[in-house]
Amino acid sequence: MVAKITLLAAAVLVVTPAAVTVALPSKPEPSAARSVEVDGPVVGFTQLENRIQVRLSPATNEAERNARHRVFIRAVSGEEMTIPLKPGQTWASAELTDDLARAEALTISVD
């Protein structure tokens, strides 16, 4: 009986890590570091593959709140995209084109 329990415990210890490894998705490979210049009320951004999310500081007054219309994302190569903003919005998210997602340098600004 003790031998069966010992074999069962050993099997659980061997099988559990393998099962967890198979069940969990693999982590994406980290991308190469690049230069990103931010301008205006941009607090920061995150990018995962082709998806980008830009965080903005909250507007301090009504005029500033209504003055923000779009987020511009530009590559050094000249490619550009805009993300429209609603008044008071503090974040913007979009799917980047492949060229922008892989650009060596980006500029993120708010108009």
Is 48 a member of any domain?
A: yes
Question: Given this model, what pLDDT does residue 32 score?
Answer: 57
The answer to whether 92 and 56 have CB atoms below 8 angstroms apart is yes
Residue 60, in any domain of the structure? yes
Integer-rounded Cα Rg, in Å, for the chain is 23
In a domain, 8, yes or no: no
**Distance, CA of 11 to CA of 16 (rounded, Å):** 8
What is the residue range of 60's domain?
35-110
**pLDDT tens digit at each of 111 positions of the chain:** 777 777 777 666 776 666 666 677 666 665 557 899 999 999 999 999 899 999 999 999 999 999 999 999 999 999 999 999 999 999 999 999 999 999 999 999 999
Contact between 85 and 54 under an 8 Å Cβ cutoff? The reply is: no
Q: CATH number of the domain that 60 lies in?
A: 2.60.40
Confidence (pLDDT) at 20: 63
Q: What is the pLDDT of residue 64?
A: 92
Number of domains in the chain: 1
Q: CA-CA distance, 105 to 52, in Å (whole number)?
A: 14
Dig out the tokens for 20 from the structure: 């967890």
> Is residue 10 domain-resident?
no
pTM for this entry? 0.69
